[in-house]
Amino acid sequence: MPRDSDVEPADRNEREAWRDWRTWVTSPRHLAGTVTALLLIGFGLGYLITAVLLFPSQSVARGLVRVPDLVGLQAEEARERLERARLGYEEAPGLSHSRPAGTVVAQEPLAGQMARPGAAVDVFLSQGPRERPVPDIIGLAQSQAEIVLSHAGFSSQVIWVDAEADVGQVVGMQPAPGTPAAPSSEVRLIVSAGPRTVNVPDLSGRSLEEARTALERLGLRLGEVTELPDSLAAPGTVRGQSPRPGSVLDRGSAVGVAIAVTPPPEDLDTAAVDSLRPPPDTAPTPPDSGTTVPSGNRSSGDGRR
């Protein structure tokens, strides 16, 4: 085994220098500086790799082409732009998207990246929004049907037709209930305008608002309202109408009604009434107990007539 005396002076100096450097680096006083130096070296290497491979300089990128931005273009426009950039067009599987069908919604590589001339760019086209079934709104009132369609993501168009159903009731729709359709597409509501001619209903005993509702459901309207003093009917109820119940009118005609009101109190002669009352301080005088009330047919006590 060689002794230290057998080692050359140069080798001994080198070993001692290495031992001193290692002790200096790992000492608590210099450990933080060592870690910082290692982090800086790692950051520099990462930046160098990124700059060279992902974002090459002019010298490194020489011969490469920049990928154009295709998002928002139609398929043919995207193909033409790639051809001008000396790149290939490759259509990838379509995606459900809110953009119209056939519109580019994604690409690979991304816009701005570098590629070799002739390299293919994957283009993802929109297949349009995902379709959903149209809800069944037949039989609902027009306002209710429009709310249901709006919540389902559809728009609506109203078409009025003559029908026996109540005015404003949905009697049909296009497309039919359950048909798959894209959101925001239009649904046509076939709404009843009532029959052309209407039999006037009997409105007696109804309130004014009830009469108005009944007429509007049949396509008629409330006409002139008059007041009829009536002490036997509840105020505000219908006591008469014109035309009479059962009359046939065209749709949109008016029906006048007379409603009951409380009659005004009759005028009384208060002076005459007061004269019939006794004075407040006097009372009738009772007959004397010893007085005999004569009678035309009664005889006196001595038997004489």
Report the b/e string of 248-278 with b at 16+ CB within 10 A.
ebebebebebbbbbeeeeeeeeeeeeeeeee
Q: Give me the domains of the chain, ranges plus CATH numbers.
A: 4-54 (no CATH), 65-126 (3.30.10.20), 132-192 (3.30.10.20), 198-261 (3.30.10.20)
Query: Residue 220 above 70 pLDDT?
Result: yes
DSSP characters over 152-192: TT-EEEEEEE--SSPTTBEEEEESPTT-EE-TT-EEEEEEE
Mean pLDDT (the chain, rounded):
79
Residue bearing tokens 């009372």? 283
Strand partners, 88: 120
Q: In which band, very low, low, confident or very high, does the pLDDT at 297 lie, cut at 50, 70 and 90?
A: very low
Query: Residue 81 above 50 pLDDT?
Result: yes
Residue 79 to residue 123: CA distance in whole angstroms: 9
Average pLDDT over residues 11-39: 67
Residue 177 to residue 203: CA distance in whole angstroms: 37
pLDDT for the residue 267: 46
Q: In which band, very low, low, confident or very high, does the pLDDT at 209 lie, cut at 50, 70 and 90?
A: very high
Burial class, 40, CB count within 10 angstroms (exposed 0-12 / middle 13-18 / buried 19+): exposed
Handedness of CA 204, 206, 208, 214 (dihedral sign): negative
pLDDT for the residue 199: 92
pLDDT for the residue 156: 93
pLDDT for the residue 266: 64
162 CB neighbour count, 10 Å cutoff:
11
Query: Which residues, 6+ apart, have CB-to-CB distance to 73 below 8 Å?
Result: 81, 103, 104
Q: In which band, very low, low, confident or very high, does the pLDDT at 293 lie, cut at 50, 70 and 90?
A: very low
Give the type of residue at 44: G
Condensed to tens digits (0 to 9), the pLDDT of residues 258-283 reads: 999 988 776 444 454 454 444 555 44
- Which segments within 109-253 are labelled E, that is strand? 114-115, 120-126, 132-133, 155-161, 170-174, 180-181, 186-192, 197-199, 221-229, 238-242, 248-250
